[in-house]
Structure 1
């Protein structure tokens, strides 16, 4: 006999799907758009509309029923039906919206019914595809940079693998703490682990740069912790990308652009189209092809710095630089070719059941360059064979060489789902797969090993290839979801569900010559000893309830329990509330949540030789040690634990008129045991410590590793306002103002150093590391947008204020740091309707050619060193690698360094 709880469970699962006889069904709309989550009730019986606005209400017994359709923000409507036994009738409901045209219904942030963005208990930004296209930016992530104040991303000038995917973040919390969803389903992480000295160091995130903008219907950005609702990685927020579902309209777009310097040419073509599928379904698909050429922004190199760094004769350096002032460096924005395809579809199998799905594939190829190896850096005297390898001078002589770095990225994701409704219960079952692979190739380089064979020859050097396959990385996941929702009444909604996720991370080994004896000069390959395939799985479940205690007072609560195969359990919860008054013109809202972020497989298992630039020392080889290695045991490194967070948000939403909406939110995020990639831990001055011995035994200048090294606290204010009541003659001027101001972003307590590091008098997080975490993104950022129409001509002007950033570069004199000054970047967009179906768009991004500017600062009041030109030149040589970079090196950029960019697009709708 089965246990009693199995019988109870079977009864509970059967109750929602019991059959009835009389039926009223139809569609709930607002101006032709479906209303999701509207309640249709008759006495104690009720149901809710699904994602397409469809509903079906089964009634018990023949007779007369008064049906009511209601939804918060809309006026209720009623209708009376007299039904005979077994009769089915149709009632299509057009609700009259009580929300203004400034509001959007949002799905993200709630597991029950959607809310408008001003009456939601959580801060949510909503953007349409046209909002992003109008920025004139070439990729999705860069478009968000100029639309969302709390969103930041920047392109670094010398990138290696980072050139494939720029780090991004919300609220300065790093790329791994924002969860990315596609149509509400988790998108796979990138295979790339950022290890350079740049924002995002030690983390990974999903590749959003490859998502075709033409495929997007809208984007919902939840600026609040949401681990209880969605699981790991949602500490800073959630970005939900909704794909287009139009089955009739289509468009064809041609794009081109160029920088004011005459480089960085961009060409693109995109097709979006939709058609019907089956008897009552749709399919919408997008194909996007693009190429962006190299934009080169090298600096003018310092001869004195070069001679000092490389121990070269100053006259030799000056002679080379007189011919090549930039030392032949190529840095800025790499050449990128991309192909993107996205498909979204759905079909109603019955009146209450639908099948849905989406899929996307992205191919990206990036060609970038390492620092140029000058003839006084890699000398012909030390490497005589280089004269034969690289005879690139005007007369065929050796004048150095520049290794190329070529990256190939493949990213895919796909979801197939099944959604059904019965008796007001909506069950959603889905299966998602996704993956990202990045492989590399190094050309125009050599293996300069100096290990002699027994016969007195070298394995490489003059026998070295000049093309190398360093391998790469791959990440895949499979996700299964079951989500059940029920609107018990127009006052109460519940939801519960579960998720199973399996993750695989693969380190692809490189060819022998790419890693043996130091490997390829500039980028060493993956050693087989550090390569392999690594796996884990987790299972989680959640329960959610929303209580509209009154029409004005809402309380939402969620709990979640997850179990990971590698570190165990995580329990988190969230409570949010909202209160409206003064005829819904004022909304007070607040939330409190706990969260977690699991260590990624990348962080647990990555181990490699890492080339990096050390100020004053040039390129050095260090070791990245993983936490499950032999070296980790020697170092006494603990296994990584998940980060734990608390997130408190309080805000107000104002709608004083139909033309004005304002939201203001304060947030406070505390993270315990934050996972960091340590600074490079080198030997001690005196030697003789355990740390010195490990470095010596492994022939390393330094080593780094992942550790739960910090507790942090981040707080700030977000502001969003929209006004559409200002008139320019007969035209309306739309004004949008949004801003983010960081009040606090800092370490909370002492650094958590492993014993072997502390005993050597060192730290896993020095000032440089902490600057990457806390001050390398703008202190504040604001966007003021103005737009209007003059007949067929639409004009918009956007001004983005990038606040100051500060950075403590490794190697600078004590107390000296750099600060990027506040700058305003102005973008102009013109849209002209040639015909009703054809639009020509012109964009001038960074209209005034504003570039980042920085200066040295000191912690010492009145520091006389800041007035010493020779001292400042020396300091500048350290942080810009002898001025190789026109602005700065890996650290500190807070917006694009390419200057003015011109672009045009022709869009034809059909």
Structure 2
């Protein structure tokens, strides 16, 4: 027995000796300044073991006996790998890192298919945003973070929620969401199933759901501000956004964030984990899991009793009845602002070496999002009864507020193989993706069914999917000539789901009528494209690049486009001239070709009316003489100047001019004429439609402007360093040059494009936007102060006087971000956005005199003219902050967010 115990004790001691770990510690310093470096990554090569240095440059790693390869790396510095031998005691190893301009000049993936270049070598204007830059905005979603970092990027939450609350429209250079191509690791991201049809920015278009991408998974973002149809195909008229995912794994992290608004609503809670593993020198897997939830933020205005009771402005109801109701609900029970939102996101990115010269890679993402919002409150003088369906027994009928629930599933995945053999780089990949949205409305009724109506409806939904195959081949033929070619096959499918019978029969569900079976269906198409790309460095300073692309679509035929670009550097590379000219195209979305529906929307002076959208292959469109959609065609010219006299100062100016022919628009609502005896009147009456809209290649447009970026870094200030960044966009021209109407509509004195649509398409985004950022770092603490100037925004809301517009006046929003390291592994971040609680403010503009009038709903002696106009465009005050069509920035006021990041 004693012998067994001795043997066991010896075995335990031997095991402990073998498994014993010792400390590898030391200090990492800047080789030039000899100062300690905080945040340096210290990792064991090939293993998920690592740490980062403290504010004093110190690090500690626990290692077992033996020889271990340890890498020291930091952005902007050359990495160092050391062979460390642990014998029987702790080891101290101090390291110095050399600054490296090569590390700072990060390779750009987007822009040229022939060869990857650095930001200073590219002949095209490209923005590069790091994950840290996005994080300092304090915004809860990726698209809103871009709003406060990229001057030409704009997105605003729509004031009217329902389906649009699932995805806010965004755009670059005022070109609409469908003209910016979204890539993930260089591969096409699927479009959303939702098409915007409300009178708000982005009307008639759709874009990829970039808000679904978890910020913790992003390594950097590259935004090509130039037409790129020749390189990437359709949807790239305004530019390309390439989202680069985190790859090589160095350490795991968990982030907990909480936030609220100054009114104590709109509370947000988010938890994200980023983790993974590295294997070998090149193998990695990196994944992110994120959960977030945002509660309701309600921003309704005070409703005017006089307007509600008026026959022209409201509901022709007894004033005493209206006042009695508004005494209890001054906002008429309306709920609008920011809807309740819950999301779960998962993303994985991996690379697996197959041989020394080839790699298998894949990435995949899945997002589930649920949104709960509200339609306009149905007051008891608007809907005078609910047939006893929505009022509890024994209680007085007080109207009802229909609810809207949207369920979104979005996924994308890519698998591919990259290889390099004899100088030839080959990339073979397959990408799939989809976006599905199903809707539910409740606490409402179908009035045509009376007491037999349900109060819960499934009105249908939409789904978009695509499958994409890519082959890309490139070679550096000589030190001056690069060559690339490739092809893409894409299959797209768009599905419209019918609602349950009670949601569409008769007048349909109040607030959101369902889709009828005859408007439902599945529609698909495929296309095949190929390109050739050549780049030639005439000298080390002078570069030219050319691309030619041919596309074949199954539903409309061929498209051929090209691009030429050049760059010239002189004065020891301190000054760069660059420019490009390209032709482009945008294929009509399947949504735009096939979607047909009845839509309930607010009509000034008439309340909520049901109107129709007919698609381009319907009998109604044929009767109206609407031609089938064809691709948009564009020309894009850019010229720019870059100035970099030293490593700390850089200035770029880029002018752009984009001309689009046969631009696709969802036209204005075509209603009957006053005489009621035209051919148009007969068709509308026959189809039982109050007003009809449809898509057509109705416009030729021109857009021009200037982007500028000034960056000054490493300014000595006290014991810290200050960086100043100034970036802006100014639109010189954004307008249509001609309108094409069908003969039937022109003969009736109507037009598919009225002033309301004109304002939405060309003036609903800021004419200019400037971002001034101050970034100060001292003793590991980072303070970021951003000031964003939003320029004027114009609307001509439906119902406005012909000689009146509304203009949102310029405003500056100030945001503060503080990052405080609590230890080498724990960082606390605090953000206050819109510190001064600036809200959108708008004026009426008399187009004849130029006089601006700020209407105050509480004014004791209001102008009767503006009293009427104010109520028409705010639904009698319900949308007083932003009007029914929107504004140039969010209306929630000051918001606060705190987060804790833990590395492990």
Q: TM-score range by the shorter chain?
A: 0.7 to 0.9
Q: 1:179 aligns with which of 162, 178, 181?
A: 181
2:765 counterpart residue number: 777
1:806 has 2:794 as partner? yes
Q: Hey, what's the Cα distance between the residues in 1 that align with 2:838 and 2:854?
A: 25
The residue aligned with 1:337 is 342
Match of 1:508 in 2: 497
* Equivalent position of 1:878 in the other structure: 872
Where does residue 546 of structure 1 map in the other structure? 535
Shift of 1:862: 6.2
Q: Which residue of 1 aligns with 2:330?
A: 325
Q: CA deviation at 1:246?
A: 2.4
Residue of structure 2 in register with 1:666 after alignment: 655
- The CA distance in 2 between the partners of 1:228 and 1:180, in whole Å, is 15
Please point out which of 674, 677, 685 is paired with 1:696: 685
1:755 shift after superposition: 1.0
Which residue of the other structure, out of 153, 156, 164, is the alignment partner of 1:151? 153
Shift of residue 793, structure 1, vs aligned partner: 1.9
State the shift of 1:590 in Å: 0.2
1:366 paired to 2:371: yes
Gaps in structure 2 of 5+ consecutive residues: 1-29, 31-75, 79-96, 856-861
Give the conservation status (yes or no) of the 8 Å contact 2:159–2:885.
no
Whether the 8 Å contact between 1:682 and 1:703 is mirrored in structure 2 is yes
What secondary structure, in the 3-state scheme, does the structure 2 residue paired with 1:111 have? coil
Aligned match of 2:470 = 481
Per-residue CA deviations over 1:635-682 (Å, capped at 9, x if unaligned) read 111000000000000001111111001111000000000000011100
For residues 84-99 of structure 1, the aligned pairs below 5 Å read: none
Residues in 1 aligned to 2:361 and 2:854: alpha-carbon distance in whole angstroms: 63
Compared with structure 1, are the counterparts of its residues 500 and 626 closer, same or farther at alpha carbon in structure 2 (3 Å cutoff)? same
| 1:426–1:804 Cα change, 3 Å | same
RMSD of aligned Cα (Å) = 1.9
Offset, 1:256: 0.3
Contact conserved, 2:278 with 2:284, CA < 8 A, in 1? yes
Q: Deviations over 1:255-306 (max 9, x none)?
A: 0000000000000100001202578511000000000000000000011111
Q: Is the 8 A contact 1:278 1:347 kept in 2?
A: no
Shift of 1:97: 5.5
Change (3 A) 1:862 1:587: closer
Q: Who is 1:735 aligned against?
A: 724
Higher mean C-alpha displacement, 802-811 vs 889-898:
889-898
Q: Note the 1:812-823 alignment, pairs <5 A.
A: 812-823=800-811
Residues 542, 560 of structure 1: 8 Å contact kept: yes
Matching residue within 551, 554, 557 for 1:562 = 551
Counterpart residue number, 2:211 = 209
> Are 2:844 and 2:853, in contact at CA under 8 Å, matched by a contact in 1?
no
The 5 A counterparts of 1:72-83 are none
| Match among 777, 786, 793 for residue 789 of structure 1 | 777
Q: What is residue 399 of structure 2 aligned with on the other side? A: 400
Task: Report the counterpart of residue 609 of structure 2 in structure 1.
Answer: 620
For the pair 1:303 / 2:291, whether they are aligned, the reply is: no
Deviation at 1:229, TM superposition (A): 0.1
- Equivalent position to 1:767, from 749, 755, 758: 755
Question: Normalization by structure 1: what TM-score?
Answer: 0.87
Q: Which one of the candidate residues 812, 825, 828 is aligned to 1:824?
A: 812
Show the counterpart of 1:240. 242
User: Which residue matches 2:849?
Assistant: 861
Do 1:263 and 1:293's aligned partners in 2 also have CA atoms closer than 8 Å? yes
Q: Distance in 2 between matches of 1:546 and 1:189?
A: 31
Is residue 420 of structure 2 the alignment partner of residue 421 of structure 1? yes
Q: Deviations over 1:60-112 (max 9, x none)?
A: xxxxxxxxxxxxx999xxxxxxxxxxxxxxxxxx99965694x4331101112
- The answer for the alignment partner of 1:833 in structure 2 is 821
Aligned to 1:472: 461
The CA deviation string for residues 673-699 of structure 1, in whole angstroms up to 9 with x for no partner, is: 000001110000001112111211122
Counterpart in the other structure of 1:908: 902
Q: After the TM superposition, which residues 26-41 of structure 1 pair with which residues of structure 2 at under 5 Å, given as runs?
A: none
What corresponds to 1:610 in structure 2? Answer: 599
Shift of 1:580: 0.3
- Given that 2:389 and 2:455 are in contact with CA atoms closer than 8 Å, whether structure 1 keeps it comes out as no
**Is 2:256 aligned against 1:254?**
yes
Query: What is the CA–CA distance in structure 2 between the aligned matches of 1:865 and 1:851, rounded to whole Å?
Result: 17
- After superposition, residues 637-676 of structure 1 pair within 5 angstroms as 637-676=626-665
Tell me the CA shift for residue 389 of structure 1: 2.4
Alignment correspondent of 1:165: 167
**C-alpha separation in 2, matches of 1:889 and 1:235:** 31
User: Contact between 1:876 and 1:882, CA under 8 Å: does it hold in 2?
Assistant: yes
- 8 Å Cα contact 1:720-1:738 kept in structure 2: yes
Moved more, 751-760 or 437-446: 751-760
User: How big is each residue's C-alpha offset from its partner over 1:527-570, in whole Å with a ceiling of 9 and x where there is no partner?
Assistant: 10000000000000000011011100000100000000000000
How far apart, CA to CA, are the structure 2 residues paired with 1:495 and 1:564?
A: 23
SS of equivalent residue, structure 2 residue 447: coil
**How do 1:258-297 residues align onto structure 2 when only pairs under 5 Å count?**
258-277=260-279, 280-297=282-299
Is contact 2:77-2:103 (8 Å) kept?
A: no
Correspondence for 2:893: 899
8 A Cα contact 2:159 2:886, kept in partner: no
Decide whether the 8 Å contact of 1:866 with 1:872 is kept in 2.
no
8 Å contact kept, 1:805–1:892: no
> Structure 2 CA distance, aligned partners of 1:237 and 1:777?
17
1:829/1:96 Cα in 2 relative to 1: closer, same or farther (>3 Å)? closer
Return the alpha-carbon distance in structure 2 between the equivalents of residues 353 and 446 of structure 1.
61
List aligned pairs for 1:434-449, cutoff 5 A: 434-449=433-448
**CA distance in 2 between partners of 1:662 and 1:133 (Å):** 24
**Deviation of 1:157 (Å):** 1.9
Check the 8 A contact 1:802/1:824 in 2, yes or no. Answer: yes
Q: Deviations over 1:840-873 (max 9, x none)?
A: 0000000000000001001111669999622111
Structure 1 residues 156-185: Cα deviation after superposition (integer angstroms, max 9, x where no partner): 122221010000000000000000000000
What CA distance in whole angstroms lies between the structure 2 residues aligned with 1:279 and 1:788? 36
Moved more, 855-864 or 733-742: 855-864
- Structure 1 residues 74, 793: CA separation in 2 closer, same or farther (over 3 Å shift)? closer
Using the alignment, how far apart are the partners of 1:279 and 1:803 within structure 2?
50
Secondary structure in 1 aligned to 2:502? helix
**Deviations along 1:193-244, whole A, 9 cap, x unmatched?**
1000010000010000010000000000000000000000000000000000
**1:888 deviation in Å?**
2.5
Q: For 1:788-841, what per-residue CA distance to the aligned partner results, in whole angstroms no more than 9, with x for missing partners?
A: 122132111000000011111111112111000000000001110000111000
When normalised by structure 2's length, the TM-score is 0.87
Residue among 192, 195, 205 paired with 2:194: 192
Aligned mates of 1:389, 1:201 — CA distance in 2: 33
The structural deviation recorded for 1:373 is 0.1
Distance 1:562 1:864 in 2: 50
Q: State the Cα distance separating 1:117 from its structure 2 match.
A: 1.9
Question: For residues 853 and 226 of structure 2, what CA distance do their matches in structure 1 show?
Answer: 44
Contact 2:227 2:636 in 1 (8 A): yes
Aligned-pair CA distance for 1:368: 0.4
Counterpart-to-counterpart distance in 2, 1:549 and 1:747? 40
